[in-house]
Amino acid sequence: MIEALNQIGLTANRPETKEGKKKAVGYPDIFLKDRNGRPNYLECKTYNERNYQMTQRSFYFSPAERSTDFKVIYNARHLVVSFKIERAEREGKRAFLPVHWKIFSIDNLIGQIKHEFNSSNKQMYKDENLLAEGGLE
């Protein structure tokens, strides 16, 4: 995903902490700057028809143990890009293929607050949060 974003002219990488350490684990997955240099945080998800509107927890955010390990350091857009995955067979092996994509804004995402921020697919994939979508060939 990072490579694809960079190929289309955006600047994408793993998010960095205040100390400049790149971190892969936990929210968000990607930090990117758009063509106007604005910061964005991107979370990548997958779904299938069976779990798309289920109420299982599919998104959560927990604070870092040390404040310097926090990956969200900019006032930025927070987005989810989600790929619909279908099973197929390729050369006699099971394959999982992306067939559709959607981009959601999570600035209005309602979650249950505990010691973490979390949300279900049903809450995250609301039509009113959808910013763009398209098919893949």
List alpha helices for 8-131, DSSP H: 121-124
pLDDT digits (tens, 9 = 90+) for 80-127: 999 999 999 999 999 999 999 999 998 888 777 666 677 889 888 999
Q: What is the mean pLDDT of residues 59-80?
A: 84
| Least confident piece of the model among 6-10, 27-31, 60-64 | 60-64
CA 70 from centre of chain: 17
Residue 101 CA to residue 45 CA, distance in Å, equals 10
What are the residue ranges spanned by the domains of the chain? 2-135
pLDDT at residue 6 is higher than 80: yes
Mean pLDDT of the chain: 88
Per-residue pLDDT, 96: 93
Q: What is the mean pLDDT of residues 39-67?
A: 83
Assign 14 a pLDDT band (cuts: 50, 70, 90): very high
Percentage of the chain lying above the pLDDT 70 cut = 96
Task: Provide the CATH number for the domain formed by 2-135 in this structure.
Answer: 3.40.1350
Residue 130 CA to residue 102 CA, distance in Å, equals 7
Q: What is the mean pLDDT of residues 56-73?
A: 79
pLDDT at residue 29 is higher than 70: yes
